[in-house]
Amino acid sequence: MRAMALTRAAAGRVDAIEIDTPQPAPDQVVVRVLACGVCRTDLHVVDGDLPDPAIPIIPGHEIVGRVEAIGDNVSTHAIGDRVGVPWLGWACGVCEFCRNERENLCPRAKYTGYQIDGGYAEYAVANASYCFPLPAKYDDVRAAPLLCAGLIGYRAYRMAGPGTRIGLYGFGAAAHIITQVAVQQGREVYAFVKPGDDRGVRFARDMGSTWAGYSNESPPRKMDSAILFAPVGALVPEALSHVLPGGIVVCAGIHMTDIPSFPYHLLWQERTVRSVANLTRQDAREFLAAAAAMELRTHVREYRLDDANRALDDLRNGRLSGAAVLLPQ
């Protein structure tokens, strides 16, 4: 089968390869990849921001696929099912975190497109327990961003608390989905984009933001919480300065530049800074059920599998509004 793989650590690009089509182990399924989103985490893997990826590794963890083969122990999926395969690909099931349904913190966990080959390929193999049925209302291309931008974004959104006014720093794939969730739940969204990114401001407004501006600007009102999707540590004190007492600042990325020192008064009055790590299977079930009940417009740009490097470069250089999606077939 054809695939695009990272063949050298921190190479900054993926290479076209031909490998055998995978076969399922007893607890696995093989899916024919219908679409695979291109996530900023893929970029962190390819560029070497995340340590010790399996080499070679096929990136991609926003996989929409059709089940083509199942392992002997699989009873939850059948051949022909359409499923989604997200970032968390396996957890041990026996550690204290797994026993308490916090498998996102499992110290032995393995991740799709990082230690397990992902979806920049014609076929992918996945543990059946970490594959999820997808809402029929979203076609293959528009379902792909739901599997990380949506899932991780939704976990961060829940951690931000129930406040009415929420700020989103970095308006890409995750923020444009979560904005729609927040608006449909009656909240106000304040969107912050890189200074000078007028296209990003317009995109945020089109998605329903109450206000949109640059990340070095002050919103018109103090916010109850803020989520940082941009991997920029300097935005933490910036966001703290704009949330109310008791407010929460959530760092949603798997990688972030160092947070600079800041005066204690920004944190005082019971403000909180917290991070989001991966996702749980319950996150996936809850968000996909919510997505089925809502009308979410995922904005995508399609690329052929062979153009994976162009998609990564467009993401790296801020040339995308919404999400990039690879089409292997």
In this prediction, what percent of the chain has a pLDDT beyond 70? Answer: 100
Amino acid at 278: N
Q: What is the pLDDT of residues 105-159, one digit of tens each?
A: 999 999 999 999 999 999 999 999 999 999 999 999 999 999 999 999 999 999 9
Q: What is the pLDDT of residues 197-218, one digit of tens each?
A: 999 999 999 999 999 999 999 9
Rounded Cα gap, residues 64 and 233, in angstroms: 32
Return the axis-axis angle of helices 198-206 and 173-184, rounded to nearest 10°.
30
pLDDT beyond 90 at 49? yes
Q: What is the pLDDT of residues 283-299, one digit of tens each?
A: 999 999 999 999 999 99
In this prediction, what percent of the chain has a pLDDT beyond 90? Answer: 99
∠ Cα 42 45 48 (to 5°): 145
Rounded Cα gap, residues 76 and 164, in angstroms: 39
Q: Tell me the DSSP string of 65-100.
A: EEEEEE-TT--S--TT-EEEE-SEEE--S-SHHHHT
Residue 329's pLDDT band (cuts 50, 70, 90): confident
∠ Cα 212 217 222 (to 5°): 80
Neighbouring residues of 15: CB distance < 8 A, sequence distance ≥ 6: 4, 5, 6, 7
Domains of the chain: 2-148+278-327 (3.90.180.10), 151-275 (3.40.50.720)
Rounded Cα gap, residues 302 and 321, in angstroms: 12
Rounded Cα gap, residues 133 and 77, in angstroms: 9
Of the candidate ranges 37-41, 42-46, 318-322, the one whose mean pLDDT is the lowest: 318-322
Rounded mean pLDDT of the chain?
97
On whether the CB atoms of residues 160 and 166 are closer than 8 A, the answer is yes
Residue 99 CB neighbours (<10 A): 11
Q: How far is CA 87 from CA 25, 59, 236, 243, 260, in A?
A: 19, 10, 25, 30, 29
